[in-house]
Structure 1
Amino acid sequence: MNKYEKEVVGEYELYKCDSITILKNVDEFSKLVLNDNKTFDLKYNGKSLNGNWTANDYGDWTIIDFEYQNVFIRAQVGREEITFNTLSGFGLGNLENVKFTKLK
């Protein structure tokens, strides 16, 4: 595990999400957990998406690549936040600018 991966391990809660068309309530989209074995658990509406992740530095940003059922989505890390441009590739509808903030 590289230093960027060690920095992002932890639990995150939803901070904001735009264009929510599939969810009745933002609370249904509750938590993102990045485990130190490079697996993740994205909890929403009483269900979970489980897959793998890797993180690396790309100059000004740390990027996390998430893989779920052979679909890859990239997210950007900034301070204690992870931001996805979209999560539609994971079958979660028209969700944009999905931001999670790290729990202490």
Structure 2
Amino acid sequence: MRRDSSLSFTCTTSTVADRSNHPTVRETLRDAAEPMTTRAVAVAILNARGVTDATARTNTQITVATILNRLIKAGQVARVGYEGRAALWQAAQSAVTVMRLAAPAWSRPTD
């Protein structure tokens, strides 16, 4: 059940189950200059969509945590440490390489 297209990244069974938000989380971590907490990933996603609602942040943070646990099992993200009690996440190096190789030539970053 989705409420509004601007808030489609909320913690609902269908949103988490359909895995359509997995690329958003992976890309957010891939584009980050340093490891991010679950909350920082959620805030970055909502800021990119122009959403500032506190309830949306809480729901998105729960969804991001679920997605990160799935992605760590798939080897696409890595838990690299802790900031207080919050885990720090980053895209796994192999996942970044795979995503770069799979991207069309015109969208590949130049290193």
Structures share a fold, TM > 0.5?
A: no
What's the TM-score, normalizing by structure 2? 0.23
Bigger radius of gyration? 2
What's the TM-score, normalizing by structure 1? 0.24
Higher relative strand content: 1
Higher relative helix content: 2
